[in-house]
Structure 1
Amino acid sequence: MVCCPKCLCEFNALLHLIQLSTPQKTDLPDTQHIHIKHTNQEIITTSSDFLKIFNEKVEHSNIDLETYLNNLSYFSTEAIPSIPTLNLAEEKLNLSQQTAKRTYYITWGLTTSVLISILFFQLLMFNPKFLSDNPSVHQIFTKFCGLINCSDLEQQYSYINIRSLKTHSEEDTNINLIGELINQNDRSLPMPLLLLTLTKNKEIVFSRIYTSDEYLIPSLQNIKRIPINTPFMFDISLPLPEKNFDHYDLQIIRP
């Protein structure tokens, strides 16, 4: 390693040596031959001037550059490799960059594909009407659910039943629907919604969806999932007096 006295940059002198090419002999006119001789003489002179740098000495020093390079291990305490480090890593660097880019695109491509698949799966799961209108898509969806051990939410909530349903009234203006919800699936589910519909002469006079916080008895409120084969009591207050309707309907809706 040598230091440029002008820019103070260090560089490997062995990597910047110039190898002169031998000119080929051709039958040229005398003028061209004289010009080539003059050019070769300039190259030789320049080369000899370049090699003089090894005989130069630093100010107030008796050691020239050639002596310093030959005795570098004596003047420097740092470890010096026997073979100079060559700048041959550019191809490996480009190859590693190409591999990193390929890995980057493959990783993000797979991630995007998985996210799109999950979105499409959710659209099918929460749109049973689309599945019923497209038998081929429904068949593919069913096979896929069989592979990952999933089932249709509509089918799961069809196994939640209402039993012991009855009305209770203390006064004509206060009527309650009391009953039990029981989950007959093989796993717990989020608490369903209850759709209450009141009709009179086959005309709807009232319709409302109740959440679990609204229809569960006070001791069961704030419960978000219904366990297996465990009856959950509910109590719904009807907003109309009994004379204003002649039929009521209570349905379980998937949340």
Structure 2
Amino acid sequence: MAPQAFPSGALLLFALPVGVIVLFRARWFSGGLKVLYGFTRMVLQLTLLGYVLVYLFSARHPYPVLAALGVMLSASAWIALHPLQKKGLHLFARALAAIFLGAGGTLALALFGVLSLSPWWNPRYLLPLAGMTFYGALNGLSLAAERFFSARSMGASPEEARNQAYRAALIPYLNSLFSAGLVSIPGMMTGQILAGVSPLVAVKYQILIMLMIFSSAGLSALFFLFFVVKGESRKEERDDRRAD
């Protein structure tokens, strides 16, 4: 069974709920235009992605696919730091390294240990899996970074801030584990069911995806906090030596 087709113009029906959200966001704390900007950017990015995927799905070599992974990795590290007032190249480098290790390692485990794809860079599998994995890492790292520097600004030690940040970073992913199958039918499973795949096959893929997202988010946040705390400790040591 093919997915149910619908006209693109039908999506305009969602102007009503989105408009309500924009209105009250603007009235309560300003920034309503940011929502509209976000939707405009989302539509343009997804449309462009559709054309890029058509090209990548016909690739005969891994190089274009690896280039796309590089763009996804760099963008996820940059976007993850968006909530922070002060970013800088040093934090970007730490975020990039953390997502590369956390999400990249998780993706490799799925590709080579679970799926055993042939070829390993099959873009129809690799790119959607990488997208979900990097997105999970992005959100986990972003929550950890925001909570860490917020706790530090309130006087917490690097270790105390790290503990608070890691706990906060995992909350939405634990919630998704508890709610899956009871409250929600998660995205991958929903997509496969709509495409006519057996629910039992969709369940296996959804479990794989949730394992990947949880692992990539938890590991990327962990690596980032490790790098940041180590950097903070070195900074304090330098400051102590200068004071002496």
Superposition TM-score, scaled by structure 2 size: 0.18
Higher relative contact order (CA 8 A, sep 6+): 2
Bigger Rg, which one: 1
Superposition TM-score, scaled by structure 1 size: 0.17
Richer in strand (by share): 1
Richer in helix (by share): 2
